Amino acid sequence: MFNLQNIKEAIVATSITVLIAGFIYFLDSRYEFFSSINWNLRGADMYDFFYREKNKNSLVRDTNIVLVQIEDSREKIANQINIIEEYNPAIVGIDAVFENKKDTRGDSKLLQSIINKPNLVFAYKLGTDKDEGILKHNFFDTSVSKEHAGYIDFNRDKYVIRTWSPFQDADGIRHFAFTSRIAQLYSPKKFNQLKYRENGNEIINYTGNTERYTGILKEELLEYHQKNQLQKLFNNKIILLGYFAKYPPFVPDDLYFSPLNDPAQKIRAPDMYGIVIHANILSMILDGNYAKIASKLTSFLIAFFLIFLFLLYMIYLYSENGMPSYSKILLIQLLVILLVLFFLLEVYNIFLWKTPLLPVLISLIICIEVLGIYKIIARWLHKKTGYKTAYSK
Amino acid sequence: MKRILTILLLIVCSQAYSQSPDYYVFLVKGEVSVSKAGAKPIPLQQNVFIYKDQLITVKKDAELTLADKNQNFLVLRSPAVYKVKDLDNKKNDPIQGVTQTFLKLAWNQLIHPDHDFKQFTNDNSSVVYGGVSRGDDCDNLIFPIKNLKTSEDSIRFKWHQSSPSNDYTFIIYDSTAKEVVNIAVKDTQHTVKINEALHGNTGKYYWVVKGKEPGCEEDPISFEIKNKEGEQKLIPALVIQKGSNDVLSQLQIVDALEKDKWIHTAMKYYATIVQGNPGNDPLVKSYVLFLLKYGFDEEAYNSWKKIKLN
C-alpha cells in the first residue's frame, strides 16, 4: 500500500481535493448559492449533538447562579431589587435595558433601588446585531452606575447561539459583555483567566437549559420572601434578573435557538431564554471550562491527512485488484465519514477541542469524484507524456 | 476478633446509611404537606429532610423543589400524593404550549398517522387538562377560563356535571358583585348573548354555577368583556412583532393570544392558520387539542373529521 508511486499519486489527488474544498469553503461568503449550502450545514452543527446528549436527564443544578423572573413595571422591578438585596447576594445582574425615561414614580423608585449598590450589573445593547443596529443604553447610565454594565448582544451563528464575545471594541472604547462584567466583580481570578485567553469569540460550553438553574418566577419571589426561604438561596450568589418562563408555553421574547434544541422536531422552535444563555456563559467562566476551537488551517491539515490516507487506500485497491465496484467505494466513503465524525465528536467530548467540520466534510464528500477526474487526467498524461500512474493499466 | 469488629462496623455503617434522609426540601411554593402512612400530614417547610417511607401531598398551584444527596434536583408541581420511594422515577412534568404540541404532533405524525379521535383524545387530553385555569375549589368550571378576555357577541359557558339531577343555577356577577344574570339551567352548558344579558357593557364580570344538590362550593371566576376595536388591533400588532410568514410564527401569535387569555381570538386565528395550510394534519391535530383544552368538543370533532375525510 505504501509504495512510493501510490503515495505520490495520493498526495497529488489529495492536494487537488483539498484545494477544491478550500475553494468551495471560501466561496460561501461571496456567493449566495454557496452560502446557502454552508448555511444549511452550519445550521445543523454536529457538535450540537454533544450538548443535547451531554446533559440529557441531568437533574444537577448550578447553585451559584439563581434566575429571577423580572417584573413588568419599573416600580415593581425596584421592589424586586430591594427584596433581593436584603439577602446580600454577591452580584445582581439585570438582563434588561431601561432605555428611556417612563413614568416619574417608576423611574424614581428604580433609581432609589439601584443607588449605592455596587453589586448591581446593568445591561445595554451594543447594537452589533443586524436586526438592532443601534446602541441602546439605560437612561441612568451616566448618572448612576456606568462602570457596572455590560452588553447583552449575542453572536448569532446564523440563528443558533453557539459563541459569544467577552469583549468588543467600538468607537475606540473597550466594551465588556454583561457576563464578563459579572465575572470581573464576582471572581477577579476567573475574569483574568478569561481576559488572558484573548479570544475575540468564545464557544459557549452549555451545561443545560432552565432546569440547570434555580429559577424563581416573579410571584414566587414574593412568596419565598414572605416565607423567608431566600436567605440560603441568595446569600453570596449571582442573581440574574431577567425574563424567562420555567414551563411552556414559552413567550418568544428574548428566546433563542441553542445547540440544545431537540433535533426530533421537524420544525425547530427557539428553546433558550437570553438569561439562561448568560447563566451558561457564567457557569463556564466560573468553572474555567472553556472549549477550544481549531483554526481553519488546522482543519484543512486534518482534512488533508484523512483524505490522503483514504485516497492512498483507494489507489492501493485499484493497483491490486483493479477498479473496486462503485457501491463498495460509496460504502467505504460513508463509513469513513461516520468514523471521522465520531472521532472528532469524541475529541470534543474529551478535550473540548472543536474542529471546523466543513473543510473535512467537503473534502470527504468530493474526494471520490476528484479521484475519478484525476484518473482520467493521469491516463491522458500517461499516453501523451509517459506520466507514471497506477491507472495506466 | 478483628473480623467480628469489621463485620460489626459494616453493619452499623449500613444501618446508619439506610436511615439517612433521601431528600431535603429546597423550596416550597404553596400548600405542600408530608406524612407517614396513616398519620396526620404536616405542612412542609424549607430545609426539612424527607425519608423513603413518607408521602408528599402537593396541592393545586403548589410546587416543591427537592434535592437529593447527590445534589440532583427534583420538582413536583402536579397536584397529587407522591410516595417518596417512587420519586426517583419522576421527571419534571411541563405542560405543553401550542407550539410544543404542534411540533410533537408533527413528529408523531410520522410514527402513527392513523389514530382515531377517541384514541387521540385519550392520548392527549389528559396532558392538556391541567393547563386550563379553573375555579379553586371544585374545578368544575370549564369555560370561560379565569381572566378570559373576549369581545364575542355570545359566549358559551361550559362546566362539568356536578349535580346528579343536572339542575343548576347559572349566575353572572358584575364587578360590584351585583347579579346580572341568574337563571336555572338543565345542562352543563349555556350560551349567553352578551348584548342582551350584559347590555353591551364592557368590563369585568364573574360567573359561577351552583348545583341543586349541596356539594362543594365553587368560587366565581372572572372574565372580561372588551370592545371589538381593541380586539381587532391585536393580531395586526402581533403580526408586526412576530411575523406571519410561516406556520411557526403564526403559532407563536396563537401562543401570545392564549397567554393573554384572548381565547376566542386565538381560536379564530388558529382556524385561519388551519385553513391556510390544507393537508397539514399535525397542524389540525394541534388545533383539535387546543379546542378540546377549552371544552369546544364539537368543533374539535368536526375538525378531526376533516382530517379523516381528506
Question: Read out DSSP for A39-83?
Answer: HHHHHT-THHHHHHHHTTT--B--TTEEEEE--SSHHHHHHHHHH
Grid cell, residue B129, equals 387538562
Grid cell, residue A281, equals 456563559
A91: helix, strand or coil:
strand
Cis amide bond preceding B144, omega within 30: yes
Residue range A167-182: mean pLDDT, rounded:
88
pLDDT exceeds 80 at position A247: no
Are A269 and B100 within 8 A, CB to CB?
yes
Which residues in chain B show pLDDT less than 50?
91-97, 109-115, 124-137
Low-confidence winner among A86-100, A370-384, B70-84 (lowest mean pLDDT): B70-84
Q: Which pLDDT score is estimated for B1? A: 65
For A299-355, the pLDDT digits (tens) are: 899 999 999 998 888 888 888 877 778 888 888 888 888 888 888 888 888 888 888
Are A267 and B91 within 8 A, CB to CB?
no
Are B91 and A57 within 8 A, CB to CB?
yes
Q: Which pLDDT score is estimated for B133? A: 29
- CB-CB neighbors (< 8 A) of A267 in chain B: 102-103, 106, 246-248
pLDDT exceeds 50 at position A39: no
Q: Is A131 on the interface with B (CB under 8 A)?
A: no
- CB-CB neighbors (< 8 A) of A248 in chain B: 94-97, 99-100
Are A269 and B99 within 8 A, CB to CB?
yes
Q: Is A220 on the interface with B (CB under 8 A)?
A: yes
Q: Which of A61, A252, A264 sits opposite B242 (nearest CB)?
A: A252
Q: Which of B71, B107, B247 sits opposite A265 (nearest CB)?
A: B107
Are B71 and A63 within 8 A, CB to CB?
yes
Q: Which pLDDT score is estimated for B95? A: 41
d(CA A264, CA A271): 13
**Closest-CA distance of chain A to residue B272, Å:** 20
HEC-encoded secondary structure of B76-121: ECCCEEEEHHHHHHCCCCCCCCHHHHHHHHHHHHHHCCCCCHHHHH
A289 secondary structure, DSSP code: -
Q: Which is more confidently placed, A38 or A106? A: A106
What single letter denotes the amino acid at residue B15?
Q
Which ipTM was obtained for this model? 0.71
- CB-CB neighbors (< 8 A) of B92 in chain A: 211
Q: Which pLDDT score is estimated for A267? A: 52
**Closest-CA distance of chain A to residue B182, Å:** 35
Low-confidence winner among A103-107, A239-243, B109-113, B248-252 (lowest mean pLDDT): B109-113
User: Are B145 and B133 in contact, with CB atoms under 8 Å apart?
Assistant: yes
Q: Which pLDDT score is estimated for A181? A: 93
- CB-CB neighbors (< 8 A) of A218 in chain B: none
User: Are B253 and B244 in contact, with CB atoms under 8 Å apart?
Assistant: yes
| Interface probe with B: pick from A65, A68, A267, most Cβ of B within 10 Å | A267
Are A267 and B248 within 8 A, CB to CB?
yes
**Closest-CA distance of chain A to residue B87, Å:** 13
Residue A316 exposed, middle or buried by CB count within 10 Å (0-12, 13-18, 19+):
middle
Q: How far is residue A123 from each of residues A73, A105, A179, measured CA to CA in Å?
A: 17, 22, 10
Low-confidence winner among A93-102, A367-376, B239-248, B261-270 (lowest mean pLDDT): B239-248
Kindly identify which residue of chain B lies nearest to residue A264, measuring between CA atoms.
B107
| A155: enclosing H helix or E strand | strand A155-157
Are A214 and B91 within 8 A, CB to CB?
no
**Closest-CA distance of chain A to residue B189, Å:** 28
Looking at chain A, the whole-number percentage of residues with pLDDT higher than 90 is: 26
Contacting A with CB below 8 Å, chain B residues are 26-30, 46-47, 63, 65, 70-74, 91-92, 94-100, 102-104, 106-107, 242, 246-248, 252, 255-256, 258-259
Q: Which of A61, A232, A247 sits opposite B73 (nearest CB)?
A: A61
Kindly identify which residue of chain A lies nearest to residue B66, measuring between CA atoms.
A59
Q: Which pLDDT score is estimated for A251? A: 65
Q: Is A322 on the interface with B (CB under 8 A)?
A: no
How many residue pairs bridge chain A and chain B with CB atoms within 8 Å of each other?
Answer: 78
Are B92 and A57 within 8 A, CB to CB?
no
Q: Which residue in A5, A11, A17 sits closest to A391, CA to CA? A: A5
Q: Which of A60, A63, A250 sits opposite B97 (nearest CB)?
A: A250
- CB-CB neighbors (< 8 A) of B98 in chain A: 249
Q: Which pLDDT score is estimated for B46? A: 86
Q: Which pLDDT score is estimated for B282? A: 74
> Average pLDDT of chain A?
83
Low-confidence winner among A200-209, A381-390, B236-245 (lowest mean pLDDT): B236-245
Could you tell me the pLDDT band of residue A246, with boundaries at 50, 70 and 90?
A: confident
Residue A288 exposed, middle or buried by CB count within 10 Å (0-12, 13-18, 19+):
exposed
Q: Which of B73, B97, B248 sits opposite A249 (nearest CB)?
A: B97
Could you tell me the pLDDT band of residue A97, with boundaries at 50, 70 and 90?
A: confident
Q: Which is more confidently placed, B202 or A265? A: B202
- Our measurement of the distance from residue B152's CA atom to the centroid of its chain's CA atoms, rounded to an integer in Å, reads 23
User: Are B44 and B35 in contact, with CB atoms under 8 Å apart?
Assistant: no
Q: Is A350 on the interface with B (CB under 8 A)?
A: no
In chain A, residues 21-50 whose CB comes closer than 8 Å to chain B: none
- CB-CB neighbors (< 8 A) of A214 in chain B: 26-27, 65, 73
Are B29 and A224 within 8 A, CB to CB?
yes
Q: Which pLDDT score is estimated for A190? A: 93
Residue-wise burial string across B203-242, b where 16 or more C-beta atoms lie within 10 A, e elsewhere: eebbbbbbbeeeeeebebbebbbbeeeebeebbeebeeeb
Kindly identify which residue of chain A lies nearest to residue B48, measuring between CA atoms.
A229
pTM, 2 dp: 0.62
| Interface probe with B: pick from A58, A59, A209, most Cβ of B within 10 Å | A59
